Chain A
Amino acid sequence: GNSVTQMEGPVTLSEEAFLTINCTYTATGYPSLFWYVQYPGEGLQLLLKATKADDKGSNKGFEATYRKETTSFHLEKGSVQVSDSAVYFCALSEGGSQGNLIFGKGTKLSVKP
């Protein structure tokens, strides 16, 4: 079946450090891929997405590229800020609905000043 595997947390970085959160997937078809973020005390929100191979999603300085050959969708940011502290979830969907999502377990990021 379809699944998403992302790196275990927690991840602790200093401000301005480079961030990578790894995500790989298993899917039978051609899924769309997403990163969702949950800031403390808030609901999950979409960070970025990519709907086909080689697409790059980007938002708020974060990027992720849909790599079909490695079945990966790693999240990167060149210089993290304290305000990026949150839990990040990688997810995939197949078919037309963006809502029937399969999520990874989440990676908690803490950024220290």
Chain B
Amino acid sequence: GAGVSQSPSNKVTEKGKDVELRCDPISGHTALYWYRQSLGQGLEFLIYFQGNSAPDKSGLPSDRFSAERTGGSVSTLTIQRTQQEDSAVYLCASSLTGDSPLHFGNGTRLTVT
């Protein structure tokens, strides 16, 4: 596809369950980012992958959050034992290099009941 693809677009889960969110970046983009947008808040940086380097995990809010990027392409953000405060829109972005503009996906809206 032409853009960054995220799935699912919407996810409703019960408190305490684990969820996985998927991001397909633009082909050839070496950098991939995850952000979170909570209601009434700005976008919050979560994690950054650049090529084969160790990811920058400085934005992950707790050890319940983890992400991986397999083969330098698709990324999965996993939230374990979800809490209601995890409800937000999770955005993925990719860029050609770490210095290039970001291209965002449409996000996954997560609702924890």
- Our verdict on whether A and B bind, yes or no, reads yes
Q: A43-B91, A104-B42, A105-B42 are contacts. A97–B50 as well, Cβ < 8 Å?
A: yes
Decide if A98 touches B102 in the complex (CB within 8 Å): yes
Q: How large is the interface on B (under 10, 10 to 19, 20 to 34, 35 or more residues)?
A: 20 to 34
User: Is A73 part of the binding interface, using a Cβ–Cβ cutoff of 8 Å?
Assistant: no
Q: How many residues of A contact B (CB 8 A)?
A: 22
Decide if A99 touches B42 in the complex (CB within 8 Å): no
Contacts of B93 in A (CB 8 A): 44, 99
Say whether chain A's binding surface is mostly helix, strand, loop, or mixed: loop
Decide if A49 touches B48 in the complex (CB within 8 Å): no
Decide if B95 touches A98 in the complex (CB within 8 Å): yes
Minimum CB distance partner of B107 in chain A: A43
User: Is B14 part of the binding interface, using a Cβ–Cβ cutoff of 8 Å?
Assistant: no
Contacts of A17 in B (CB 8 A): none
Choose from B31, B40, B99 the contact partner of A105 (Cβ within 8 Å).
B40
**Chain B interfacial positions (CB closer than 8 Å to A):** 3-4, 31, 33, 35, 40-45, 48, 50, 56, 91, 93, 95, 98-107
